[in-house]
Chain A
Amino acid sequence: MDAILSIEHLHKQYSGFELNDLCLQLNPGEVMGFIGENGAGKTTTIKSILGLIRHDGEVRIFGKPVEQLSERERGQIGVVLDGCHFHDPLTVKRVEQILSGIYPEWERTKFLQLCERFGLPLNKKIKTFSTGMKMKLSIIAALSHNARLLILDEPTSGLDPIVRDEMLDLFYDFIQDETHSILFSSHITTDIEKIADRVTFIHQGRLQFSLPKDVLHDEYGIVKGARSEIEKIDSDSLLAIVPQSLTCQGLVRNREEVRQAFGKLNVEAATLEEIMLCMVKGELR
């Protein structure tokens, strides 16, 4: 099966930051959660994918180099960048008229239905909208032009849990079609845990891992105990150590094996947040 999005050796240099040799693959039917701390390189990666910045390396979408996509194919990429990009004096009705004149496969009925479902008034100006309403509008617009790939940069940041949950429902609906895929960048790891099939973690411009969420859930663990005990874990299993005030915390893979081999240590399943914290703040092995 051809990847819907593939990135090969992506490299971008800024003064003080380098996105280094990033390789990724997103398959049809897959939701990739893209996580990393602020400044890790998530937005730089997304901007490179969308051609907003120049870069080295190759980005292919729908099997083609991104710069060779036709207008119709570009129209099949739904994009939500950080914030709402529609002008304050416009109404939702006006936004609909504008986008229908831009996207080759604009779906007016779907757009209006989604606006109604999510309570967006058609005749009110966007300047009167809350942050949540603006984000809903951006997401609804991205879903209303027959997109096969959604690229979402922090789509749920700044939203309350209720609205975030509604948005995740929309993404679930979108991914029911197995030819669709989502690249979902966020620091809100609980959202990623809810929706992603694969988690890609980037730190200081370097890919740390890109693994199925089930692997992280089933195999990764947090061990707690004395540093001397944790350091006995073999280097294949121990990924990072985080010194704490009295004890120490370690991030391991092969959680069950570690649990059996080191009965004295407390081993628990790791959440995405714990994995991220250990890899950012800990001493990597």
Chain B
Amino acid sequence: MKGLLLKDLFVVSEFVRVLTLMVIVFIASMMAIDGFSVIGAMISLLVVSLVISSFSYDDLAHWDSFAATLPVSRRKLVASKYLFLLLLGVLAVVFNGLVSVLFAALQPGVSLAEQFVTGILISMAACIIDFVLIPLIYKYGAEKSRMMMMMVIVVIFGITYGGAELLKMLNIGTDWITLPILIGGIAAAFLASLLISWTCSVKIVEKKEY
């Protein structure tokens, strides 16, 4: 397991320089237009999407067929990818924390705690997108992952927007969605999607022929 995690970390560390540059440019451009709130979301999406890049690298190296010959069960092979994603999620939260501190320092009156919680929620939401994607990648390959990622984002956005519209149509206000309820809802969605995604991925990989 340790070796598998190291493999993914080493492979995506290639992107770190590019990613850092992207983040700096992005922060600078957002500061120019006071668009701080978007920065955290973008960082979360970028960091967490590194797990998709690791799948693409695995595909290029035809790693999966070799990995299936290693002294590691297929369940552990899948577990290493989920663990890697969770590590990236933690990293995204840390980056969000740093951006929140920067935001709070530059714009007086902004609540650091609120910014930080938002960062955690956004990172969890970014992980949920990957939870949906991972079984699809195991099933159809990483080549189609970019297209699938767009589709998943559109579907999730559609459901959220559709839900909000439905509440409006039913004359149900959104005042009851307080921060604790939002946190609880996203945490529940996070855990449920992790569990479903993990179960599907293990089933797909255990049946897979190379």
Contacts and interface: CB of A to CB of B under 8 A. Distances in A.
A22 interface: no
A90 B11 contact: yes
Contacts of A39: none
B4 A88 contact: no
A79 interface: yes
Contacts of B61: 84-88
Contacts of B2: 101-102
Contacts, number: 83
B175 interface: no
Contact of A85 (B4, B63, B209): B63
A53 B57 contact: no
B65 A71 contact: no
Interface stretch (A44-52, A108-116, A217-225, A245-253): A44-52
A89 B66 contact: no
Interface string B170-210: 00000000000000000000000000000000000000011
What secondary structure prevails in chain B residues at the interface with A? helix
Interface stretch (A91-99, A185-193, A232-240): A91-99
B68 A51 contact: yes
Contact of B65 (A73, A75, A85, A103): A85
A125 to B, nearest CB: 9
Interface residues of B, number: 26
A87 B11 contact: yes
Contacts of B72: 71, 102
A77 B70 CA distance: 9
B71 A71 contact: yes
A76 to B, nearest CB: 8
B7 A87 contact: yes
A78 to B, nearest CB: 9
Nearest to A69: B71
Given A87-B60, A89-B10, A74 B65 contact: no
B6 A52 contact: no
Given A51-B69, A102-B71, 7 more contacts: A50-B69, A53-B209, A74-B70, A77-B69, A87-B10, A88-B57, A90-B10
10 contacts: A50-B68, A51-B68, A51-B69, A52-B69, A79-B69, A84-B61, A87-B61, A87-B63, A89-B10, A103-B3
Interface of B: 1-7, 10-11, 14, 57-58, 60-63, 65-66, 68-73, 209-210
Sorted from nearest, which 3 A-B pairs have the closest CB atoms? Answer: A101-B3, A102-B3, A85-B66
